[in-house]
Amino acid sequence: MGAYRDTYQLSLDDPEWFWRDAAGGVEWERMPIRVLDRDNPPFYRWFPDAQLNTCHNALDRHVERGRGDDIALVYDSAVTGALKRYTFGELLDEVSIFAGALRALGVQQGDRVVIYMAMVPEAVVAMLACARLGAVHSVVFGGFGPRELAARIDDAKPKVVVATSCGIEAARVVPYKPLLDAAIDEAAHKPSRCVILQRPQAPGELRDGDITWADAVAAAPRTACVPVAATDPLYILYTSGTTGRPKGIVRDNGGHAVALTWSMANIFGCGPGDVFWAASDVGWVVGHSYIVYAPLLAGATTVLYEGKPVGTPDAGAFWRVVAEHGVNVMFTAPTAIRAIRKEDPQGAHIDRERLKSLRTLFLAGERLDPQTYEWAGERLGVPVVDNWWQTETGWPIAASPRGLEELPTKAGSPSVPVPGFDVRVLAGDGRPAAAGTDGAIVIKLPLPPGCLPTLWGDDERFVRSYLSAFPGYYLSGDGGRFDDDGYLYVMGRTDDVINVAGHRLSTGAMEEVLAAHPAVAECAVIGVGDELKGQVPRGFVVLKAGVPTPPATVAAELVQLVRDRIGAVASLRSVQVVAALPKTRSGKILRRTMRGIADGREEPVPSTIEDPAVLDALRPVLRSSGG
């Protein structure tokens, strides 16, 4: 572990030196003199006196260096058949014009813009146009419904919303415009304008204040980059916490550009001229970092794929994209590989001759189970690199950093901490857990550049959620252990966040929706293991006395309610009506015990239980598949 070990040690011994050096990978409007502001712990700020523009670094810089004709973005839509390539010059053109359109609609530096779009190039254009103006984008995943969208609108208070009229799923067209209208009707904050990209599959009906994308750009002038402070926010990305209220993860401009640029070379081993494909969605952090920003910052070509791993049209879809676009480095979630393996267990669609460009497959977003790791490695014949990170950090915390050194990988482990991240495993009393012993995975402060400096508008919640459990450390919310070789094993969340098909969801948010139904007295939602999706939610409700509606009808209504309010992505398909929920004497529902039983473990009866008979009665229900 020579190169890795030395680099890692240096990053912890002298972070200022390390990140000053890495900052050389970015073009600054004003060079950083100070690297890290440590004056106000636990709040740290990277490059506090520097200025830059992220869009300039992603586009203009490459054009200025003569790479205007190189391909920046390949849009491949398996659901519409569209294929479009943009050079850096063309993408810059589109972005500067859309920045002009946003400015004409009143968007200024610091204003927020919510983006609710399918996987179309205009989503990337809208994000980069915000960056160009110094405006703060907040992308909301298209699979979320009105309630989630409204919560984000109310928190971010956008001046403008940019949306596609619809999304296209494997089996159906999903009109987004009615969902957007419902969200705006529900939200207390009203954006002043909405820009709607009309798609022929389902154009949206325009309301007062709406303008089509085509009309917005028709007369818009090209607009130059606005230099911003490195510490100014680039975007807010909402993610699920334990309560129903999403957390607004803030990303700054400077630290983000430096960290992502460093990660492309040193973790992903990818640079100018390479083709990088993250098969994710721009609504998630993987999409922000590794579809949009990192590949473009690094001067690589990024692939934007609209489609699924299976069903669009078959389990060969991913391998077609790799072959047709000469993808060198690929990134996706284990779920996608599990879905492919399920349909094509022998890998009949994998023709290695056609996949010669592929060097590495990176997998993240959920625990990578050893069978999926083995299957992908054997079938593809390339290294499979598990990497562990979160919306909060924006880039990998643990990985095998391929650009630095080709460390051996181990099934079930995302390998070693990435330079910059001082990862520890702590026991409940705050003392270090011995190698081989599970504990809370934490990161010693300061976090490296690129990680969240705070939550949007809520420093207090930032400290309470992440920094107060173990003072001086960031609490990841994941549990796990190190082995004797310093490899990390991430075993799962220690809170009520669940991970469904690589999508991070809050059981608390689902419980809020169930509890709002007039027939429901109390409820619990837990995440249980699922072969394909990793986890799926299951709901349990106790009905109020004297409810005349049959329990099966209420259960069906509840499934539909969660789908309508939170969105189809919640994947809550099973709600069961039960007589009572097991609780502690202080009234807390024993969700962890319920989860363990549902996952087939022999859970001990907690000593704090109020009535063991309730748990006994529930055991067979929990052990059943949930129907």
Stretch that binds ligand COA, among 217-225, 253-261, 496-504, 576-584 (CB under 6 A): 496-504
Q: Which residues pair with 356 in a beta bridge?
A: none
The whole-angstrom separation of Cα 332 and Cα 355 is: 16
Q: Could you say whether residue 479 binds ligand AMP (CB under 6 A)?
A: no
CB of 196: closest distance to ligand COA in angstroms? 16
- 420 near ligand AMP (CB under 6 A): no
Residue 143 binding: pick among ligand COA, ligand AMP, none (C-beta 5-8 Å cut-off by kind): ligand COA
- Peptide bond preceding 550: is omega within 30 degrees of 0, i.e. cis? no
Q: Does residue 410 belong to the site contacting ligand AMP (CB under 6 A)?
A: no
Q: What is the C-alpha R_g of the chain?
A: 24
298 binds, among ligand COA, ligand AMP, none (CB under 5 to 8 A by kind): none
Instruction: Verify binding: residue 280, ligand COA, rule CB under 6 A.
Output: yes
Q: Does 339 bind ligand COA (CB under 6 A)?
A: yes
568 binds, among ligand AMP, ligand COA, none (CB under 5 to 8 A by kind): ligand COA
What is the distance between the alpha carbons of residues 230 and 157, in angstroms, rounded to a whole number? 22
Centre a 10 Å sphere on the Cβ of residue 171 and count the other Cβ atoms it contains: 9
270 binds ligand COA (CB under 6 A): no
The closest of 386, 474, 469, 385 to 424, measured between CA atoms, is 474
Ordered DSSP codes for 461-498: HHIIIIISSSTTEEEEEEEEEE-TTS-EEEEEESSSEE
Dihedral sign of CA atoms 462, 486, 269, 386 in order:
negative
Percent helix, strand and coil across the chain, each rounded to 5? Answer: 35, 25, 40
Quickly tell me which residue has 């990435």 as its tokens. Answer: 418
CA dihedral 463, 466, 467, 468 (to 10 degrees): 80
- Lookup: tokens for 489: 């094993």
Is the CB of 280 or the CB of 576 nearer to ligand AMP? 280
Binding-residue total with ligand COA (CB under 6 A)? 24
391 binds, among ligand COA, ligand AMP, none (CB under 5 to 8 A by kind): ligand AMP
Calculate the CA 565 to chain-centre distance: 20
Cβ nearer to ligand COA, comparing 60 with 366:
366
Taking the C-alpha atoms of residue 583 and residue 605, their distance in angstroms, rounded to an integer, is 11
Q: Is residue 386 near ligand AMP by the rule CB under 6 A?
A: yes
We find the least distance from the C-beta atom of residue 330 to ligand COA, in angstroms, to be 12
Is 513 a binder of ligand COA (CB under 6 A)?
no
C-alpha dist (Å) from residue 225 to 95, 134, 269, 365: 10, 8, 29, 33
Q: Smallest distance, Å, CB 537 to ligand COA?
A: 11
Binding partner of residue 386 among ligand COA, ligand AMP, none, CB under 5 to 8 Å per kind?
A: ligand AMP
Does 498 sit near ligand COA (CB under 6 A)?
no
Applying CB under 6 A, among 15, 121, 142, 146 the residue interacting with ligand COA is 142
d(CA 54, CA 399): 25
Stretch that binds ligand COA, among 64-72, 256-264, 354-362, 500-508 (CB under 6 A): 500-508
Which of 134, 502 has the CB closer to ligand COA?
502
Could you give the C-alpha distances from 115 to 94, 155, 217, 484, in angstroms and in order?
Answer: 17, 14, 16, 45
Q: Which two tokens stand for residue 467?
A: 């920094």
Q: Which stretch binds ligand AMP (CB under 6 A): 64-72, 166-174, 274-282, 358-366?
A: 358-366
Pick from 547, 568, 580, 609 the residue near ligand COA by CB under 6 A.
Answer: 568
Distance CA 175, CA 179 (A): 7
Q: Say how many residues touch ligand AMP, by CB under 6 A.
A: 20
Asked if residue 167 binds ligand COA (CB under 6 A), the reply is yes
Q: In this structure, what token pair is assigned to residue 218?
A: 């028709």
Is 501 one of the binding residues for ligand COA (CB under 6 A)? yes
- Residue 36 binding: pick among ligand COA, ligand AMP, none (C-beta 5-8 Å cut-off by kind): none
Dmax over CA atoms of the chain, in Å, equals 74
Q: Are 95 and 88 in contact (CB under 8 A)?
A: no
Nearest to 591 by CA among 581, 576, 601: 581
| CB 391 to ligand AMP: min, Å | 3
Residues 392-431 that bind ligand COA (CB under 6 A): none
C-alpha distances in Å from residue 399, one per residue of 53, 414, 488: 29, 5, 9
Q: Residue 326: phi, psi to the nearest 5?
A: 60, 45
Cβ neighbour number for residue 558 with a 10 Å cutoff: 24
Closest CB to ligand COA among residues 47, 305: 305
What burial class does residue 5 get, using C-beta atoms within 10 Å of its C-beta: 0-12 exposed, 13-18 middle, 19+ buried?
Answer: middle
Residues 281-310 as x/- pattern, contact with ligand COA by CB under 6 A: x--x-x---------------------xxx
Residue 335 interacting partner from ligand AMP, ligand COA, none (CB closer than 5 to 8 Å by kind):
ligand COA
Residue nearer to ligand AMP on the CB measure, 333 or 339: 333
Nearer residue to ligand COA within complex by CB, 362 or 473: 362
Residue 569 binds ligand COA (CB under 6 A) = yes
Provide the minimum distance between the beta carbon of 495 and ligand AMP in the complex, in angstroms, as a whole number: 9
Instruction: Compute the least distance from the CB of residue 335 to ligand COA, in Å.
Output: 4
Q: Which residues face 441 on adjacent strands?
A: 425
Q: Which listed residue (148, 366, 422, 603) binds ligand AMP by CB under 6 A?
A: 366
User: If binding is defined by CB under 6 A, does position 144 make contact with ligand AMP?
Assistant: no
Q: Which is nearer to ligand AMP, 537 or 582 (CB)?
A: 537
CA distances from 247 to 148, 152, 242, 313 (A): 12, 9, 9, 36
DSSP state of 435: T
Contacts with ligand AMP by CB under 6 A lie at: 239, 285, 364-368, 386-391, 414, 477-478, 490, 493, 499, 504
Contacts with ligand COA by CB under 6 A lie at: 142-143, 167, 169, 174, 280-281, 284, 286, 308-310, 333, 335-336, 339, 365, 500-503, 568-569, 571
